[in-house]
Structure 1
């Protein structure tokens, strides 16, 4: 189905699957607690394991987050890209998204289809479109039946590369998960700490 179909479904409070430059993502309106809960249910994910926020640009992220100057510099250097950047959230984001924490992971995918979708929707949940504990999905044919049947729209963008995003807290200088571009990110962090 099309990006327009997916955007309409998101605006109706439904979940969708969309391609990114890493793996397929499971998206719903990240500002709507009920839509966020739907994503947790579809993934079978524990509620204390927060979801990330997908936006079309760093400027869009600033409407929902409060990064420090250093964190914003990092975001502008590495986003869009296969990186999840952890920064302080604004109160407009529901506690359901962040498991009640005061910080949120931000994703700006470097993928034409994902960005087109994000331009047409509120911020989306940015989490892989797999059941918790199962491998990430790089082709729509690999989607778990519960996810495929539980979402309103699947946008097929062909096979994705499959390397997970690197999860980093640039304010604290910590890489939580090594993935794409991890060495480059580590070099940036160490240069600032040196």
Structure 2
């Protein structure tokens, strides 16, 4: 993928911050996300602390593509078919996680949310930094962030980098447990997802 030089530099700087154990703010096709190394328990802890998020609310993980996701998760055939249909896109798919992802990511639960954003900056960062946490870059209980200037001061001060790509569309991803035929959170593309679940 071809990014503008300025954006590529920002992605490289954010990837370096993630490699150093820090969290970063990055754009997606929904809202701004808070990304850290999803394979590093200490980095995952940092994300919970920055967001002041309850530990029993799992974090999802952003990947560069479906093959990347399959290195760290174990989707069923039906989940793979769903992922082929809707990812990349504003959808989070809950699937079985591999032990390479730390327990604190999901509060010890066996499943994790898979996110493959339909946003070239988010994909470039996932490609450069490996699996990263995919959670909105707001403190828990506060509105999601569509512009970096709307970030809480505490979040801005706590992260190692912010990739500013202007305003994001704003509709949060729909979270789906395909095997349970359950929509956990309604968001983008929810009607198309409901139709797919009914037809498959």
Please tell me the TM-score bracket, short chain as reference: over 0.9
Structure 1 SS opposite 2:196: helix
Q: How does 1:1-194 map to 2 (within 5 A)?
A: 2-192=10-200
Q: Which runs of 4+ in 1 moved over 4 A?
A: none
In structure 1, the residue matched to 2:4 is: none
* RMSD, aligned α-carbons: 0.7
TM-score of the pair, normalised by structure 2: 0.95
Separation in structure 2 between the aligned mates of residue 126 and residue 91 of structure 1, nearest angstrom: 18
In structure 1, the residue matched to 2:5 is: none
**1:122 to partner: Cα distance:** 1.6
Structure 2 SS opposite 1:175: strand
Separation in structure 2 between the aligned mates of residue 76 and residue 172 of structure 1, nearest angstrom: 18
Unaligned stretches of 5+ residues in structure 2 = 1-8
**1:62 to partner: Cα distance:** 0.3
TM-score of the pair, normalised by structure 1: 0.98
The size of the alignment, in residue pairs, is: 192
Unaligned stretches of 5+ residues in structure 1 = none
**1:42 to partner: Cα distance:** 0.1
Structure 1 SS opposite 2:171: coil
CA offsets per residue over residues 51-92 of structure 1, 9 Å max, x none?
A: 001001011000010111000110111000000000000111
Structure 2 SS opposite 1:26: strand
